[in-house]
């Protein structure tokens, strides 16, 4: 049984509206890139886990895992689809990690893919709302923008978070995305642009919201034995945590925190023998601007209620105290829901390898990824580093 697991290969498509590519095209492209980057042959892959939220509703395709292995020429390895709404990618990564930790496998692909733009906007929004409580939320017309607007209003009321601070989240992430060729919207915006963009669910504007996107991402994980033998720059999994909360927002004890994120991050920090202040950079789930602010707080990067001020003071910028979403986040890179959790891992690995050019965080030797499902019913946190943690008995 291995006690250390590393990421040895990464790959992703451009996140965009891919009218000439199918879901199988996208997942195959990302997988091939990851396997090539790892420097392994397809025949050495022991298993595949793929994150996908709703291919059945988006494109009418279920049974996605064997489709992925079939198209990649990886049969007859075991293939498993993982679903946790927008956290499906991180769930696939966590299951791949555990399959190696258990000793069952040594080289595993974790992937995520979603093809969302084949549905018109209203149908895509209805499909996404399947991640909420159908009986108590979607059936009465609530959307995720509406749910997060309620969260935003509560945070503004309780802590004085401003409309401008929400906008600064989007501004920062778009600024970072300018240097990311894989991003759907690599263009800078201003606070004024955000505030003047159309209202979707007050106080959230269009430019507070992540877009509808097609894309796929994949990584290759390996046991310590394999990683040390073949990888030039292995990036080690230091900690992993997952937790759940109520599906419906109205059942939460608080609208201004995500309890699942607090629990999942605590588990990941404990496994990694780290504290929030030790984290060099983070990819957090900014499906809406308010979610980034709340995530910063719940991960322990600042006190509850001070996330807006943390953003306003520039602490999340590339040169700030805690660089957040250094490649653009969901807001600017795009959010193909099943792929996002894997994309976050890809971008942390790129940072830790020193491959990010103008948006490189100098001296970074660790990074955290937070992937959230729905309005916070699932939260998954991973911490990665350039050096493995010492094994303690």
How far apart, in whole angstroms, are the C-alpha atoms of residue 167 and residue 111? 31
What dihedral angle (degrees, nearest 10) is formed by the CA atoms of 197, 203, 207, 212?
-120
Would you say 176 and 327 are in contact if contact means Cβ atoms under 8 Å apart? yes
Q: How many C-beta atoms lie closer than 10 Å to residue 37's C-beta? A: 19
How far apart, in whole angstroms, are the C-alpha atoms of residue 255 and residue 239? 27
How far apart, in whole angstroms, are the C-alpha atoms of residue 353 and residue 337? 25
Residue with tokens 């080289």: 107
Classify 80 as helix, strand or coil: strand
3-state helix, strand, coil in the chain (%, to 5): 40, 20, 40
Q: Name, in order, each residue with C-beta under 8 angstroms of 215's C-beta and a sequence gap of 6 or more.
A: 12, 13, 14, 15, 16, 18, 26, 113, 114, 334, 336, 339, 343
Query: 232 is written with which tokens?
Result: 């030039």
How far apart, in whole angstroms, are the C-alpha atoms of residue 3 and residue 165? 42
Rg (CA), the chain: 19
Instruction: Report H helices in 73-143.
Output: 88-101, 121-128
The one catalytic residue in 174, 335, 356, 382 is 335
Would you say 224 and 5 are in contact if contact means Cβ atoms under 8 Å apart? yes
Active site annotation includes 335: yes
The one catalytic residue in 18, 82, 86, 356 is 86
Classify 55 as helix, strand or coil: helix
Active site annotation includes 302: no
In angstroms, the Cα distances linking 372 to 243, 292, 295, 358, 381 are 10, 11, 10, 28, 9
Q: CA triplet 189, 131, 150: central angle to 5 degrees?
A: 55
How far apart, in whole angstroms, are the C-alpha atoms of residue 113 and residue 52? 6
Q: What is Dmax (Cα atoms) for the chain? A: 56
Annotated active-site positions, please?
86, 335
């Amino acid at each position: 049984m291995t006690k250390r697991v590393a990421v040895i290969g990464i790959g992703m498509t451009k996140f965009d509206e891919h009218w000439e590519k199918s879901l199988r095209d996208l997942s195959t492209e990302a997988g091939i890139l990851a396997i090539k980057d790892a420097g392994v042959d397809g025949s050495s892959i022991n298993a595949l886990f793929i994150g996908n939220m709703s291919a059945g509703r988006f494109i009418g395709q279920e049974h996605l895992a064997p489709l992925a292995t079939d198209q990649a020429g990886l049969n007859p390895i075991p293939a498993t689809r993982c679903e946790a709404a927008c956290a499906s990618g991180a769930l696939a990564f966590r299951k791949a990690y555990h399959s190696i930790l258990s000793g069952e496998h040594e080289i595993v692909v974790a992937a995520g893919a979603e093809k969302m733009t084949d549905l018109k906007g209203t149908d895509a929004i209805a499909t996404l709302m399947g991640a909420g409580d159908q009986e108590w939320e979607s059936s009465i017309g609530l959307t995720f923008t509406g749910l997060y607007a309620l969260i935003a209003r509560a945070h503004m009321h309780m802590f004085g978070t401003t409309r401008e601070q929400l906008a600064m989240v989007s501004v920062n992430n778009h600024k970072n995305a300018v240097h990311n060729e894989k991003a759907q919207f690599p263009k800078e915006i201003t606070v004024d642009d955000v505030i003047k963009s159309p209202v979707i669910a007050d106080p959230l504007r269009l430019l507070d919201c992540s877009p509808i996107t097609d894309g796929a991402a994949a990584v290759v994980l390996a046991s310590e034995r394999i990683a040390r033998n073949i990888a030039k720059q292995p990036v080690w999994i230091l900690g992993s945590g997952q937790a759940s909360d109520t599906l419906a927002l109205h059942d939460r004890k608080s609208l201004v925190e995500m309890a699942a994120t607090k629990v999942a991050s605590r588990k990941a920090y404990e496994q990694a023998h780290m504290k929030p202040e030790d984290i060099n950079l983070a990819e957090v789930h900014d499906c809406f601007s308010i979610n980034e602010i709340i995530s910063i707080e719940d991960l322990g990067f600042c006190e509850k209620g001070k996330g807006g001020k943390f953003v306003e003071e520039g602490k999340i910028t590339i040169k700030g105290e805690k660089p957040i979403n250094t490649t653009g986040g969901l807001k600017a890179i795009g959010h193909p829901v099943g792929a996002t959790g894997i994309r976050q891992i890809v971008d942390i690995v790129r940072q830790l390898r020193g491959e990010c050019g103008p948006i490189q965080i100098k001296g970074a030797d660790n990074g955290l990824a937070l992937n959230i499902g729905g309005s916070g019913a699932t939260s998954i946190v991973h911490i990665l580093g350039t050096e493995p943690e010492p094994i303690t008995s």
